[in-house]
Chains A and B, each alone.
Chain A
Amino acid sequence: MPIRFDHKPGLVVYLTAGDPSLDATCEIAVAAIDAGADVIELGVPFSDPLGDGPIIQRASERALARGTRLRDVLALAREIRAARPAAGLVIFSYLNPMLRYGLRKFTDDAAAAGADGVLAIDLIVEEAAEYLAEMSRVNLAPIFLAAPTSSDARLEAIAKYSKGFVYAISRVGITGTQKSITADAKALVERIRRYTRLPVAVGFGISNAEHVAQVAEFADAAVIGSAIVELVENSTAATAPGAVARFIKGLRLRDAALAR
């Protein structure tokens, strides 16, 4: 399935796979899609998540403590795909688990599981030749991050090699919640649009309806990560799907109100 943002604004929902359990992540993902998420980003837990703030670090530790492995995440992707054939599905991982699994086998298995794309947080375009070849072989969309600090030349390359969407990092920093969206985000999205007609999703720190409404003014989609992972942390396996669904529905309310 190509990645599409049918809703306005589009919503990408990040979940750490295996937190609190693989079954729960599946139910949360399905609930999130039914509540209006366009794309699910399934985070592969990693022992050393240096791009992540405390919320996702803790979720990764919990998922690893339960024994979550990359092959389990791929099996989970397959379940989500079977349950909701039309939703966008992206695997989000640090590079080392993918390298250890084998890039060829990983791309084969991710594609077979029904994933649409992959986002490798510590892989920049210059280092990505082999990865890009494997991704294109099985028609998976490589999604690269663009940062406020990226030069125009880099944005051009990022735009050129990304498929599905370009992920614009809202601010200089790691993942985590924040109070407000900085001017960095808008300026970055405008710069990215000079090089591509792909949708642009803005992520890192987007935590509430107000942020989503702000992002909707200049981008195609908002990525909600830590805010949802924190909600899952504060719920039980039984209550998390409902809590996440309510939260996601609430994210578009302010925008709907503004549109009227």
Chain B
Amino acid sequence: MASIIVPANPSEARAGRFGVYGGRYVPETLVAALDELEHAYDEAKMDAAFQAELADLLKDYAGRPTPLYFAKRLTEQLGGAKIYLKREDLLHTGAHKINNALGQGLLAKRMGKKRVIAETGAGQHGVATASACALFGLECVVYMGDVDMERQELNVKRMRLLGTEVRGVSSGSKTLKDAISEAMRDWVTNVRTTYYLLGSALGAHPYPTMVRDFHRVISKELKQQILEKEGRLPTAIIACVGGGSNAIGAFYEFIPDRQVRLIGVEAGGRGPALGEHAARFKGGAPGVLQGTYSYVLQDDDGQIALTHSVSAGLDYASIGPEHAALHDSGRAEYVSCDDATALDAVVRLARTEGILPAIESAHAVAEAIRIAPALPASDILVVNLSGRGDKDMGILARELKL
């Protein structure tokens, strides 16, 4: 067998690199599994039968295509750009996460893996994975931080009902980051039998590419739908960014269309101090966390910082590497939205349109509410409404004193 070639320059373009970002920063034990996964995915991608099976499931099981809805009342209230909502919230299990869970679940089955593990923050990826595993007859274990188990309790119960074992994680910040570390420890230990179904466009190659590909369907549909409805491309696409999967899925097909602004919204949390938010592009610096080189919230000794967001799904110290590259190249813009503004947007959307968004998605809605009034009525904003807010009723009842 040929020797592995070590590139002279780490930024040299290779599979799994987005500019200088991405790569594979993992313990050696996992490399073989990542190679196996990359190989299996490359084959599945080219396999018409696999793609057809996935397309059927996305249509009849998950409910694709999702509508592109013109939010007429919200648009009129704001008096500026037209606002459309891409309704990922209407998907089975309540968020975009099912696109990826079905894709990777099928892949796990194809690879002959019987046991699936996953991490979850808001619990949406956990519920999507639990559902996919029930559907494919796979054993499923989901790691979830103790803090998230408490604030997204409904999703914990849903996962259990679906036959999944939910394992609480009590280390570190007890949120998504710690759930990923624990899932990776499980994977290192059980790598020969276990499929790690990672839930965002994060982690070591091939995950950021593969997860993005499974969510690309969002921007494929969106492009066709907006051309049908408006006969032209939108002014901007706005999406919240936790790890970055719904955003990259909504952006991807528009990257070559340079006139379309791509706006990612990070969690501004309680304020700009380190530890109070999850705005990686504002407070972070390039570094390595959990397999990938990207922007990371960290202290000046390279220790990973604590984060805060009212939304569990955005509460993470790093961001998918493709977003880091889109940020540095200037192709996408990243802003942040604080907790209070996101909660206001939940209420606003609920009361003007009768749509209850997930608090994650409300961060993107808030950005549309902020910028629409100053834009001409001929402009079009599309918000990727990544999920619905049913899971957040506990937090909303408390925060809004319902």
* Contact A129 to B10, CB < 8 A, known contacts A48-B177, A96-B289: yes
Q: Name the segment of B58-66, B126-134, B187-195, B271-279 touching the other chain.
A: B187-195
By the criterion CB–CB under 8 Å, are B28 and A147 in contact? yes
B residues apposed to A, CB below 8 Å: 1-4, 6-10, 23-33, 35, 171-172, 177-178, 180-181, 184-185, 188-192, 285-291, 296, 298, 300-304
B303 and A46 form a contact (CB under 8 A): yes
Cβ B1 vs Cβ A48 within 8 A? no
Is the pair A64, B303 in contact by a Cβ cutoff of 8 Å? Answer: yes
Q: A150–B31 contact, CB under 8 A?
A: yes
Say whether A151 faces chain B, with CB atoms less than 8 Å apart: yes
Contact yes or no, B24 A124, CB < 8 A: yes
Given contacts A70-B301, A100-B302, contact A150 B1 (CB under 8 A): no
Judge if A172 is at the interface, Cβ distance under 8 Å: yes
A138 to B353, CA, bound (A): 64
Please, which residues of chain A bring their CB within 8 A of the CB of B291?
Answer: 122
Query: Across the interface, which residues of A come within 8 angstroms of B29, CB to CB?
Result: 145, 147-149, 169, 172-173
CB distance from B30 to the nearest CB of A (A): 8
Contact B6 A48 (CB under 8 A): no
Given the interface pairs A121-B27, A149-B31, A174-B189, the reply to whether A100 lies near B6 with Cβ below 8 Å is no
Interface presence of A254 (CB below 8 A): no
Closest approach, in angstroms, between the C-beta of B206 and any C-beta of chain A?
14
Minimal beta-carbon separation of B13 from chain A (angstroms)? 14
A100 touches B27 (CB 8 A): no
C-alpha spacing A123/B1, complex, angstroms: 22
Q: How many A-B residue pairs have CB under 8 A?
A: 145
Measured between C-beta atoms, what is the minimum distance from B274 to chain A in Å?
A: 13
Is residue A191 within 8 Å, beta carbon to beta carbon, of the partner chain? Answer: no
Q: Which residue on chain A has the smallest CB distance to residue B186?
A: A174
Chain A residues, Cβ within 8 Å of B32: 147, 149-151, 154
Identity of the chain A residue whose Cβ is nearest the Cβ of B304 in the assembled complex? A47
Contact call B188/A172, Cβ cutoff below 8 A: yes
Instruction: Tell whether, in the assembled complex, residue B26 and residue A47 are in contact, meaning their CB atoms are under 8 Å apart.
Output: no
- Identify B296's interface contact among A96, A152, A161, CB under 8 A: A96
In this complex, what residue of A is CB-closest to B1?
A: A153
* A contact residues vs B (CB 8 Å cutoff): 46-53, 57, 61, 64, 69-70, 94-101, 121-130, 132, 144-154, 156-158, 160-161, 169, 172-174
Say yes or no: B303 contacts A129, CB within 8 Å.
no
Name the 6 nearest CB pairs between A and B, nearest first. A100-B302, A97-B302, A157-B4, A149-B32, A147-B29, A153-B1
Can you add 14 more A-B contacts, CB < 8 Å, to A100-B300, A157-B6, A174-B185? A50-B184, A50-B185, A96-B288, A96-B302, A97-B301, A99-B287, A100-B287, A101-B302, A127-B25, A146-B28, A149-B30, A151-B32, A156-B3, A156-B4
| CB-based nearest A residue for B36 | A149
CB <8 Å contact, A153 and B300: no
Complex alpha-carbon distance, A148 and B191, angstroms: 11
Q: Which of A123, A148, A169, A172 is most buried by chain B, counting CB atoms within 10 A of its CB?
A: A172
Q: List 19 A-B contacts (CB under 8 A).
A: A48-B181, A50-B180, A50-B181, A51-B185, A96-B287, A97-B301, A98-B302, A124-B25, A125-B6, A126-B4, A127-B23, A129-B6, A144-B28, A149-B28, A149-B30, A149-B191, A154-B4, A172-B191, A173-B189
Contact B25 A123 (CB under 8 A): yes
Complex Cα distance A57/B182, Å? 11
Judging by beta carbons under 8 Å apart, are B6 and A132 in contact?
yes
CB neighbours (8 Å) of A50 from chain B are: 27, 180-181, 184-185, 290
Distance in Å from the Cβ of B243 to the closest Cβ of chain A?
Answer: 15
**Across the interface, which residues of B come within 8 angstroms of A122, CB to CB?**
25-27, 288, 291
Least CB distance, B41 to chain A, in whole angstroms: 18
Contact B28 A124 (CB under 8 A): yes
> In the complex, what distance in Å separates the CA atom of A100 from the CA atom of B35?
28
Are B171 and A57 touching (Cβ within 8 A)? yes
C-alpha spacing A96/B304, complex, angstroms? 9
Set of chain A residues within 8 Å of B298, measured between Cβ atoms: 96, 100
- Whether B301 lies near A69 (C-beta < 8 A) is yes
Q: Which residues of A contact B35 (CB under 8 A)?
A: 151
Point out the residues of chain B lying under 8 angstroms from A151, CB to CB. 1, 32, 35
Which residues from A are CB-within-8-Å of B288?
94-96, 99, 122
Tell me the minimal C-beta distance from A204 to chain B in angstroms. 9
Which residue of B9, B172, B188 contacts A173 across the interface (Cβ within 8 Å)?
Answer: B188
With A and B bound together, what is the CA distance between A147 and B31 in angstroms? Answer: 9
- Chain A residues contacting B24 (CB-CB under 8 Å) are 124, 126-127
Task: Determine the distance from Cα of A126 to Cα of B296 in the docked complex, in whole angstroms.
Answer: 22
